[in-house]
Amino acid sequence: MSEKTQGNADAFLEEIEEKLNQEKKDKISFARFLEEKMDQFDYSNTSLAKKVYHRVDRKKDGRSEYVPVTRQAIGTWLRGSIPSSREIYVTLGMAFEMDVTEINHILETYMGYGLYCKNIEDAMWIALINGLFPIQQFEDVKEEIEAILQTEEESDSRSLPTGELWDLLAHAGRLEEFYQLIRTYRDEFRNGAKQFGQCLNEVIEYEYGHFEKASWFLRDIGCLHCEAQFSKIRAGKAVVTRDWLLRFCIALQPSVESIEKLLDKAQMEPLGITPMEIIIDMISRKKADSLANSQQTWILIESVAEKLSEKGYEIDEDLCRKYDTIYDLSPERKLWFAICLGKQILACQETRDFGYTRQGYARFEIVDQILFDEVNRCKKSAAFKKQASQLAEGLPQPEIPEDIPKMEMVPVCMDKETDPFDMEKFEDYCYVARPNRFSKDFLMNDTYFYSAMIYSIWTGKCFVKEEGDSAASKVETELKKAGLVNPELIAMLHENLKTDAVYDDARNVKALTDCLSRTARIGQ
């Protein structure tokens, strides 16, 4: 990370911590609140942990499930850490036998916003608190509500004041009564969803000119929450969750005015006081001043989020990876994708197709296109799944089929202003030197570029050349999580990514590609 970028990150972190500390004033600390309540109900860390839930996203089907937290999590909160997820505060309040009003106060105190009955998601939380269904059924209830919202049949659906809706929700005694309440006032809820969908399109058009210009980033959100879900949100036929909206704001980094507009249309409270929401707020305010492009913004987000986590703040890591879509791939599919890229680079070397123009080196310009467009495309590819499966099973590798991603060498004219949302300046962060057209530096740059791509594939984060010495260790950590440990591969990455790397024939793209193939066999 350059000194300027590091300075931005340090100053940004200092501002965030200052704001977090300001919010702690004049209110009881969460640790003290938790300790007093645990004493009142005679809960141990273990017994309380069984009653408090957090959301876990399932990678296979894109659904979420709610599972108990660990006793270690309770311990970190007692030592001063603060939860950042709504489901934790809600189920914690339920464990302490609090009603909706009391839980709402806790949410307002420690998250900065409470529940609002005309927001569909919040109406579900109110129904949960009132005991109409267990939290394990939360996703099923959401699907049923979305089915109700999509019903086009005529009805006597009508609107009503907010206070009356609170009262009706409070008196719903069974889940079916809750569903009937949604049906009765379906048009009001649905119209609100449609207005949000229209607002979403307006924000995209205002911030980026047109929808397709922002599609790479939007598809990343789409994969996290199912692409069909994003389409339903745009059409006003889905439950818009605050979590989804935060992911949208992190991925597209709209202005603070656009964020406030979206929250208002979704009938949600303004940005709260959790670390992630403060990051979103400050990024949106600083974007036009000191942050040159979204790549630099993402490097700042990833750096600050990592430092906040080290200081004990709870941060949703899925929100803090630019390439979270590829991070969520299975280990064998990550390996196969990386191997495909390596083979394509080698094929380009054989044909002397280096993607070079007099003004620049095109291969560095298309990182986002590869990691958004191509990964999202191949996630649906039956051939890609089959090849990755065979790789994991140790079968011979057949030739790469046509629908496997290829690196298209798009010439880039560097003397024109680069569109920061179309072609990222990846070479600013991962670059050795502009190669002489007739030298062997092309191969050196390919090795460096490919090594950096392997880092992003396995960590989901931007590669920054000044942090190259630690990059290989982060890849090693991720490989260990997957049950894959190849010292040879890690040694190569250490050599290729260190700031003073010197490349020789033993450290070329072919050596890395072959080593990745051998890594696949290690886990068998």
Least confident of 105-119, 262-276, 355-369: 355-369
Angle at 62 between CA 57 and CA 65, to 5 degrees: 40
**pLDDT single digits (tens) 326-383:** 888 888 889 888 988 888 888 877 777 666 555 555 666 667 777 877 777 777 778 7
**pLDDT single digits (tens) 19-74:** 887 766 666 788 999 999 999 999 999 999 999 999 887 766 667 889 999 999 99
Categorize the per-residue pLDDT at 403 as very low, low, confident or very high, splitting at 50, 70 and 90.
low
Note whether 226 and 261 are within 8 A (CB): no
**pLDDT single digits (tens) 175-212:** 999 999 888 888 777 777 788 888 888 888 887 766 66
Going 246 to 66 to 112 to 316, the CA torsion angle's sign is negative
Q: Residues for the chain: how many in total?
A: 524
Burial 54-89 (b: 16+ CB within 10 A, else e): bbeeeeeebebebeebeeebbebbeeebbbbbbbbb
DSSP collapsed to 3 states, 185-223:
CHHHHHHHHHHHHHHHHHHHHHHHCCHHHHHHHHHHHHH
Angle at 128 between CA 124 and CA 131, to 5 degrees: 145
Structure tokens at 263: 């929250």
CA distances for 284 relative to 76, 244, 281, 483, 506, angstroms? 30, 17, 5, 39, 45
Note whether 120 and 239 are within 8 A (CB): yes
Q: For residue 219, what are the contacts with CB-CB under 8 A and spacing of at least 6?
A: 227, 325, 372, 373, 376
Q: Where are the domains of the chain?
A: 324-522
**Which of 137-141, 290-294, 297-301, 316-320 is modeled with the greatest confidence?**
137-141
- Greater model confidence, 412 or 70: 70
CA 146 from centre of chain: 23
Structure tokens at 481: 């999580």
Categorize the per-residue pLDDT at 303 as very low, low, confident or very high, splitting at 50, 70 and 90.
confident
Going 312 to 315 to 320 to 321, the CA torsion angle's sign is positive
Taking the C-alpha atoms of residue 271 and residue 461, their distance in angstroms, rounded to an integer, is 25
pLDDT at 414 (0 to 100): 44
pLDDT at 89 (0 to 100): 95
